[in-house]
Structure 1
């Protein structure tokens, strides 16, 4: 899947911009604040209908404008996304509106590496679940449907549990939510466990490619959703009512990142954590390529600033593998560095942004 052209209207600091891309390596160059990350984020929007960096739609509109539009022309389809203040976001695939925004997920597989990705290691379980949910959703539409439905019912159940004291809990409605939530949780957590088992070899290979120290990365999957979950979930209802939230379920699942059997969060150095995250993202690339039969778009935002010279050279040598990778987008504030790193690559496109 190749992105040929991107048109941005009133999107962040791109009031009116058009970009043409090459089939292989596209280096987006410019000083900090020139809009490099915003350009990559717009590409991400077209695959997921939301920001990779957590930006709210209303904040993505250029100052003093009312709406943004992102239009991408790929070699097999076009995708247009628009958001106007006070209205719902709209999406068109080849000029037609799908039933749901989420229908676009998986159309253009994509992997992005961001400067703050180490938060997956340092923060709580939400970010790690989000990573694996995003991976599963790009090739398993049934998983995505189950996840969206689970989150909807969970929100409804939690709202019911927060009912004001003294008004009485609608137990019949609670049971209705339970009957929906339990099978969804069992399906979601089962697929996450399967994902962990299949994904680990991809992670191990990519970590070894980036680091020659012989360390072994690992993954643990922790969940309440196992044998006897339905009975334990229902028996926990009183605690849920006291705490006014759902205490068990797939939303409590966690993936633990390990290095030589130890939690990398506690024992990994900064360099080891950075290497682990990049290996994780490249593993996702290889995993999606195998599952979808397509080479995902690979977006690398300010990646070189987070690595030492030896790891930069290792990463660049991997990226120059034309059989493995296809279209890559790399942002860099240092123009001379990127031009030197890719001077031997014939199919490289330099896009220079000015403030």
Structure 2
């Protein structure tokens, strides 16, 4: 089968930052499905892994990355029970295993969902990683209850990004929260509004703009962009007994004492935790993806796909990475096979 990978961590402008190669088609075992991939999408985690996985070495075998795909089940392992050959599926996969930048991939069925019937493979491929991340942030980490938490506020940092784009929808459609998103450009501001944000504030003047909309403090903060850069301000604008969730991490220790007097809860969210550690509730991701598929088919949620590149080629993968690295892309970029 054809795959695209890399042997060295190179700038995306370099010729060999990605290389196409042929490799053996994998065979599914136990709970695995063999999926013939129809579309993939690219996330910030892709370029971060590409930039760091082979920094000071040359890999003997090219590393295959990519963690968002939609496709068709071609074969199943001997312990599978949720899918059969011919089923259309979508998933984000497991960061510890080969990714989806290939014609075929094996993936544990317990982290796979049924593809939304109303969406194309390209539209579906845009959804899994960001949706699981946003859903887990709201409902697994904060444990939002629509009744108990009605009228509370959530601030979504980087509202127009891939995770922010679905987080706005989930918070608006599935909870009674007042949704505040950050964006600064005219197109990204409008995107957030179209997705349902009650307020869109400029992150360059965040404290001032929160004051202007009458929400100087918020109950919940979802950091999808830069925990280290926002930490002191987040600690200042979070309400007492509030909750901050971050997916970005920090290069230096955080001063948790800033949260002490307010009894604020802080959580990290890492979508790959369940698959990395084969947690007791690993199947929850299968359930979440199926729930999201139903919501997409009902029109409650919409795909966050904004750009489709046609053809599984090195040039298209490079372009998708370039767009992600720019930090200015809105929604999701997909490559349709």
If the length of structure 2 is used for normalisation, what is the TM-score?
0.25
Which structure exhibits the higher relative contact order, with contacts defined as CA atoms closer than 8 Å and separated by 6 or more residues? Answer: 1
Instruction: Report the structure, 1 or 2, having the larger helix content.
Output: 1
If the length of structure 1 is used for normalisation, what is the TM-score?
0.24
